[in-house]
Amino acid sequence: MMMFLMRSWKDLTQMKVTGARTEKYEYFNAVLINEVDEEGNSVELGGEFILQPNDHFNNLSVNLSLSVVQVPTNMYNKDSAIVNGVYWSEALNKVFVDNFERDPSLIWQYFGSAKGFFRQYPGIKWKPDEHGVIAFDCRNRKWYIQAATSPKDVVILVDVSGSMKGLRLTIARQTVSSILDTLGDDDFFNIIAYNEELHYVEPCLNGTLVQADVTNKDHFREHLDKLFAQGIGMLDIALTEAFNLLSDFNETGRERV
């Protein structure tokens, strides 16, 4: 969530048309600030951005006057939905500054958008990894997920029939692990593997849901590595088990693990 509001950089000015009016605002990308092209000109969405070390922020170089906007590498930073979001969220810049002036003990302030952009104060430059990628997506962070969703009961079904041998099963494991990353302490879950039979990934937790805390999620990840593919996939059996399990907990309010 980084954005820079430097009023003097006309080449960074974006135009938003609202009705009969055209309004001016600046969109500074956190990764591109202070970057120049081969001719020494500021790159688009970049520009000169003053950064100074500040011990209150772990001696990182920051700008206490402006916030910045970060967009994941796998998203187009000039997508219309993102550009419009950057426009209306520009007003947060003053809110961030005023908050910090009222309470100097504050550290980072930020806003995560459902569209994927992340606005952060104070402004700081983000650097890609060795592959030139910024993988951070605010929508995958625990604070965003907890604020955007209510507590969930989740049953994850994994097909371990013969058709899932090799790379497919590897991808399935990784997908399940990513789903677990989105669950927080307020959520409850279980994982069922299926072919022509049902196999609770953790047999000791057959027919129940467990809290999605770090310990339980890591424990289930270890059991995912023990899955192997064989037999025929009977999805109807797995779906019946999953819906019965969820219905049981919803209707009876039975104690969860």
Average of per-residue pLDDT values in the chain: 84
State the pTM of this model. Answer: 0.56
Average pLDDT over residues 18-22: 39
Position 16 scores a pLDDT of: 43
Integer Cα distance of 58 and 135 in angstroms: 23
pLDDT in tens, 26-72: 788 999 888 888 888 888 888 888 999 999 999 999 999 999 999 99
E-state strands within 41-138: 52-54, 60-62, 68-70, 109-112, 118-121
Q: Name the band, by pLDDT with cuts 50, 70 and 90, for residue 20.
A: very low
Query: Between β-strands 153-159 and 52-54, what pairing exists: parallel, antiparallel or unpaired?
Result: unpaired
Position 249 scores a pLDDT of: 78
* Residue 120 near residue 153 (C-beta atoms within 8 A): no
Position 253 scores a pLDDT of: 57
Integer Cα distance of 237 and 241 in angstroms: 6
> Of 69-73, 111-115, 149-153, 171-175, which range is least confident?
149-153
Q: What angle do CA 222, 227, 229 make, to 5 degrees?
A: 160
Average pLDDT over residues 206-219: 92
Residue 74 scores a pLDDT above 50 = yes
CA-derived radius of gyration, the chain: 24
* Residue 114 near residue 139 (C-beta atoms within 8 A): yes
Q: Residue 194: which H helix or E strand, with range?
A: strand 188-194
Position 21 scores a pLDDT of: 38
Integer Cα distance of 229 and 72 in angstroms: 35
State the alpha helices, DSSP H only, in the chain.
Answer: 80-88, 92-102, 142-148, 167-181, 214-224, 235-252
Average pLDDT over residues 243-255: 76
> Of 20-24, 79-83, 90-94, 248-252, which range is least confident?
20-24
Positive/negative CA dihedral, 119, 122, 125, 131: negative
Position 185 scores a pLDDT of: 86
Domains and CATH numbers, the chain: 10-146 (no CATH), 150-252 (3.40.50.410)
Integer Cα distance of 24 and 6 in angstroms: 12
* Nearest C-alpha neighbor of 201 from the set 190, 209, 212: 190
- The first and second tokens of residue 155, run together, are 């049953």
> Of 4-8, 76-80, 182-186, which range is least confident?
4-8
